[in-house]
Amino acid sequence: MTEHFDARESRSPEEREAELFGRLPEVIAAAMRAPAYAERLAGIDPPQVTDRAALARLPVLRKSELPALHKAKPPFGGFVAGPPSGFARLYTSPGPIFEPEPEGHDAWHSARALFAAGFRPGDIVLNTFSYHLVPAGMIMDSAARAIGCAVIPAGPGNTETQIELMAAYAPSAYCGTPDFLKILLDAAGKAGIRPSIRKALVSGAAFPKSLQDEVAARGVEAYQAYATADLGTIAYETQARSGLVLNEDIIVELVRPGTGDPVPEGDVGEIVVTSLDPRHPWIRLAVGDLTAFLPGPSPCGRTNRRIKGWMGRADQTAKVKGMFVRPEQIAEVGRRHPELGRLRLVVTREMEADRMVLRAEAPAQDPALAEAVSGTLQAVTKLKGTVELVAPGALPNDGKVIADERPVA
């Protein structure tokens, strides 16, 4: 309970705050060398931004804006001063949002999250996050390697191959979505294989209490991390099981959705993050998720602030099976099928897995049209979903495009 990744995790809150805001002016000055930040932060004097009140006066950049900004000024919307060739790896996430890999052996600052989940040198990690175009796989890969773990770069899917890998390498640890962890444990049981996995860091999807209990009953201690492709790990669960502790080297605010105004203590607000990497800084990036701060430090001895975890979306973007699905993507499905009327993507959970159903107004119940729309939905979102055609006027005229009906974990 008292073993920490480094001494920074247990320093006084005052020391941490002084260090973060001591670094912030230099980071803002570096950001303003990029044309988009120079325009957004025009008139800002970086040496004056040395506390939370001053930071709160800067404009918020919403993640939902990035696809349009990146399209207008590819690849990074003018928010990066250097050329793409200056980075080691270049990624894309649905939207599309284009992302360069930060510098460093633990590029997304995720090693301390794995350490808090019990990962140690000598562990073999089955990493089932995707390595293809999106950064998720390398986020956890680089973190595990920074600790001294060996990594199986398995990626998602291919359950039979994953079971063969588990039998051959006997991994002690798992990284991936909680849904896929259950799938692997189920498949191993059916194959008569006793899984060697005893610890896990899960992210990218809901981890409700029912699934937590099932995984624990199978001998796996699974902990949650809250991370994004842009920022890396923002917060992570510890052995205290008491909220998620904020990561070091970032400044987190909670603001009233649709504004940049910090919410009163204890209120639910939208997560806004300022990162302190001068090469690729994010200044007040609103990620679209809701949470609330928990009072006091964690019982595990880490002194950074804690959040309750994911408490819903500030906008209509939903994360399904670890992938973001955006209203703009549903609109693209409609553009490709002009015969459709209103569309609504309904996201639910069935058998501890995410499920999405696109309800589409159509003049007739045409199975061929439903099949075509299903193909378009998968092509646009990179996720499979069911299509239900409904009569014109059957969907509410309330502007909602994505209805996330999953229980809040």
The CA-atom distances, in angstroms, between 257 and each of 160, 288, 315 are 43, 8, 8
- Does residue 373 have a pLDDT over 70? yes
- Does residue 238 have a pLDDT over 80? yes
- Does residue 76 have a pLDDT over 80? yes
Out of 221-230, 302-311, 351-360, 391-400, least confident range: 391-400
Global confidence as pTM: 0.79
What confidence tens digit (pLDDT) does each residue in 4-34 have?
A: 999 999 999 999 999 999 999 999 999 999 9
> For residues 290 and 175, what is the distance between their CA atoms, to the nearest angstrom?
24
User: Residue 51: inside a domain, yes or no?
Assistant: no
Out of 41-50, 85-94, 108-117, least confident range: 85-94
| Omega cis (within 30) before 75 | yes
Contact 268, 256 (CB under 8 A): no
Torsion of CA 151, 155, 156, 157, to 10 degrees: -100
User: Residue 86: inside a domain, yes or no?
Assistant: no
Q: What is the pLDDT of residue 108?
A: 94
368: three-class secondary structure by DSSP: helix
318: three-class secondary structure by DSSP: strand
Q: Assign 316 a pLDDT band (cuts: 50, 70, 90).
A: confident
Q: Assign 90 a pLDDT band (cuts: 50, 70, 90).
A: very high
User: Residue 347: inside a domain, yes or no?
Assistant: yes
Q: What is the pLDDT of residue 352?
A: 85
User: What is the phi/psi pair of residue 95, to 5°?
Assistant: 150, -55
| Secondary structure E strands in 292-352 | 293-294, 306-307, 318-320, 323-325, 343-350
Contact 285, 56 (CB under 8 A): no
Q: What is the pLDDT of residue 231?
A: 95
- Does residue 159 have a pLDDT over 60? yes
Q: What is the pLDDT of residue 409?
A: 56
Mean pLDDT to the nearest integer, 136-164: 96
Mean pLDDT of the chain: 94
User: Residue 358: inside a domain, yes or no?
Assistant: yes
Q: What is the pLDDT of residue 1?
A: 41
User: Residue 389: inside a domain, yes or no?
Assistant: yes
Give me the amino acid identity at 348: T
What confidence tens digit (pLDDT) does each residue in 330-356 have?
A: 989 999 999 999 899 999 998 888 999
Q: What is the pLDDT of residue 267?
A: 87
What confidence tens digit (pLDDT) does each residue in 250-303 have?
A: 999 999 877 889 988 888 889 999 999 998 999 999 999 989 999 999 999 999
User: Residue 376: inside a domain, yes or no?
Assistant: yes
In terms of residue numbers, what domain contains 345? 318-404
Six-digit token pair at 232? 């890396």
pLDDT higher for 308 or 397?
Answer: 308
68: three-class secondary structure by DSSP: helix
- Does residue 408 have a pLDDT over 90? no
Q: What is the pLDDT of residue 220?
A: 97
Q: What is the pLDDT of residue 44?
A: 97
Mean pLDDT to the nearest integer, 201-219: 94
If one counts the domains in the chain, the total is: 1
Six-digit token pair at 15? 């020391």
DSSP state at residue 266? T
- Does residue 175 have a pLDDT over 50? yes
Read off the CATH number of the domain in which 381 is found.
Answer: 3.30.300.30
